[in-house]
Amino acid sequence: MIITSLEYLPGMTVQRHLGLVQGSSVRSKHAGRDIMAGLKSIFGGELVGYTELLHESREEAVERLIQQAKSIEANAILNVRFSTSSIASGAAEIFVYGAAVQVANES
Amino acid sequence: MIDAIMFAVLLLLGFGFGQLSEKRHYRSIIRREKELQPIVVVGSKHPPTGEKFRQVLVVGNVVVASDYFKSFVASLVNIFGGRVRTYEPLLDRGRREALLRVKEQAHALGALQVFNIKYETSRIGGRVTTIEVLAYGTALLDSTLTTEPAMHSGSDEMSASAPLSIAN
C-alpha cells in the first residue's frame, strides 16, 4: 500500500479511482497521565505523554484508513490529509482521509 | 492568603522553569536544524517527473505547553489586546520541532527530499495554553534502494517519533 500526500505518483499511472477512504480514532489518556501533564504544563515544555497519545492515535487512524482501502482493493492512497479536533480536555479525535486508487507502473 | 501564596509560587516556578526549558529547547532546535540542513522540505505538490521514487508519508508531532507565568501574562495582554509576545515563541518552537521530526524521519529513511509539507495546529485543553503541532509530508526515496530502511528516528529527545509503519 502506497500512502502519499501528493496527488500523483511519479512513474506510475492511476488506472481506477475508487473514491474517498477514511480512518478516525478518538483517544484520551488515563487520569494519572492527565494530572501529570497538568503539573508539567505549569513549567512549560514538551508534554511527552500527549505527544505519544496523539502519535499512537494517528497510527491507529492510518491503520483503519489502510484497512478500508484494502477492502476495496486499492493499492495506493493519494492526497492523504490529517485533521485533529479536540472533543474534550484530554481527548482528541484524529481523522485521516485520502483518495483510494489502483495504480500500475508506466510501461 | 494561602491562595495568593500558591499563585505567587506557581508564577515563580513557571517563570524560572519555563525560561530554562525554552532556552534549552531552542538550543536543541538550532543544533538539529544545522545537522538536518541537507534535507530539503518544500510545499510543492509536484515532484520531479521522469524519475522513479518510492514515496513514504512522514509525520512529526509535538505537544508543547507554555508555562504558568507566560499564560498569566497573556491573559493580562488579552484584556487590552495587541501582540501576545509570550505565545509567539511557543508556536515557533512547536512548528520547528514538528518539522525537525519530519526531517529526522526522512533522514532515517535515507530520503533527501520531502514534498507537499502541511502543518496543522490544534489547541489542547487545560489551564495553561498547550498546543499540538503536526507536520506531515511525502518523503521521496530512491526506488533503486531495495533494503527496507530501519524504522528508527534519530531524535534524542523523543521516542514517539518513529515513522508510521506504512512504508509500502
How many angstroms away from the CA of B86 is the closest CA of chain A? 12
**What is the domain extent for residue B116?**
2-142
Which whole number is the average pLDDT over A85-96?
79
A28, A29, A41, best to mutate vs chain B, most B CBs in 10 Å: A41
Select the residue of B18, B57, B136 nearest A43 (Cβ to Cβ): B18
Examine residue B93 and state whether it is found in any structural domain, yes or no: yes
Task: Give dist(CA A58, CA A82) in Å, integer.
Answer: 9
Q: Which chain A residue has the Cα nearest residue B121?
A: A84
DSSP labels, A68-85: HHHHTT-SEEEEEEEEEE
Instruction: Please tell me the total count of domains within chain B.
Output: 1
Contacts of A81 in chain B (CB under 8 A): 118
CATH superfamily of A2-105: Hypothetical protein apc22750. Chain B (3.30.110.70)
The answer to ipTM > 0.95 is: no
Examine residue B160 and state whether it is found in any structural domain, yes or no: no
Task: Give dist(CA A60, CA A54) in Å, integer.
Answer: 10
Contact B61, B134 (CB under 8 A): yes
Give the pLDDT score at B167: 43
Beta carbon pairs, A and B, within 8 Å: 159
Give the pLDDT score at A68: 94
Which whole number is the average pLDDT over A11-38?
84
Strand order in the sheet with A2-3: A2-3, A76-88, A91-105, A12-28
Examine residue B167 and state whether it is found in any structural domain, yes or no: no
Contacts of B168 in chain A (CB under 8 A): 1-3
Give the pLDDT score at B150: 42
Q: Is the pLDDT of residue A17 over 70?
A: yes
Pairing label, strands A91-105, A12-28: antiparallel
**CA end-to-end span of chain A:** 20
CATH (domain of B104): 3.30.110.70
Give the pLDDT score at B29: 94
Residues of chain B under the 50 pLDDT cut: 146-162, 165-168
Which residue in B89, B108, B116 sits closest to B150, CA to CA?
B108
Task: Give dist(CA B54, CA A103) in Å, integer.
Answer: 13
